[in-house]
Amino acid sequence: MPAKIVVVGSFNMDLTAYMERMPRPGETVGGHTFKTGPGGKGSNQAVAAARLGADVTFIGRVGQDVFAQAALDFWHQEGINTDFVGRDPDHATGVAPIWVDDKGENSIVVVLGANLRITPADIDRAAAVIAAADVVIVQLEINYDIVEYAMKVAREKGVKTILNPAPAGKLPPEVVALADYLTPNETELEVLSGKTGDYEAAARSLLTREGQTVVVTLGSQGAMWLNAGGKATVPTFKVNVVDTTGAGDAFNGGFAVALGEGKSLEDAVRFGNATAGLSVTKRGTAPSMPTRAEVDALLSSQ
């Protein structure tokens, strides 16, 4: 049985410019490549999970524009259920202009548009699908009250929740407490916990109830998990890094699928690391998400 994953989140059309180096304020630099492609943290995570063989439903909102149609076409091509994607008459589909330099570093501006118009009624309409899910994932590119509401509905139905607190934002402790798994990177951990320096202390401060786990993604250092029962750092895989954009989304998609399939925490983190590791070997966000065969091959080779 494939894992059933529900993603409540964002779609943004990525408008990516590649250049030798980033411009300084007031400076114009020449770029050598430009691409448009489907992005947004929620959509990327949904695509990652779908390519890994999961049964994926996306709950979100797009506009009435050309980018919205591109999103729907792309999700259908990836086999993602879009029955609960709303079309907003008054707000444009989200966009994300991205700059990537030749070292693979990136800077991103996100204009969220319709993503911020998801309503509790949108979640309620999908209640039966949420109840049947193995894992529900949310991120912070949607309105925070919906992050809370979606996790509440999932918890009431006994479904595991992953809160990927990205992009970095401050959430009330009662919202953080709704997540079974928190998956910040170093920056997001700092903002969420209000603590700097000691990752372990910061992560531990987020554990407010029984059964919670924090998984801190550490880029080339792998990922550290921590809960009441213990902690460990799971190393990453040696790969040729081309573009790190979307690596966090790849990790979350992979981690969710592994949990949904009943893998142990350690194995789920390793599976997430493999998914993220493969994603940085290609350019782009959603287009760089690996297939199940690629992830399984990497896991068995190292």
Name the nearest CA neighbour of 130 among 84, 174, 176.
84
Name the nearest CA neighbour of 253 among 139, 175, 169, 152.
139
Q: Would you call 9 exposed, middle or buried from its count of C-beta atoms within 10 A (0-12, 13-18, 19+)?
A: buried
Active-site residue, 249 included: yes
Cα 230 versus chain centre, distance: 25
Max intra-chain CA distance, the chain = 54
> End-to-end CA distance of the chain, in Å?
27
Measured distance CA(133)–CA(298) in Å, rounded = 27
Given a contact cutoff of 8 angstroms between Cβ atoms, the answer to whether 137 and 5 are in contact is yes
- From the candidates 145, 249, 267, 296, give the one annotated as an active-site residue: 249
Residue in the structure block whose two tokens are 């630099």? 29
Return the active site residues.
249
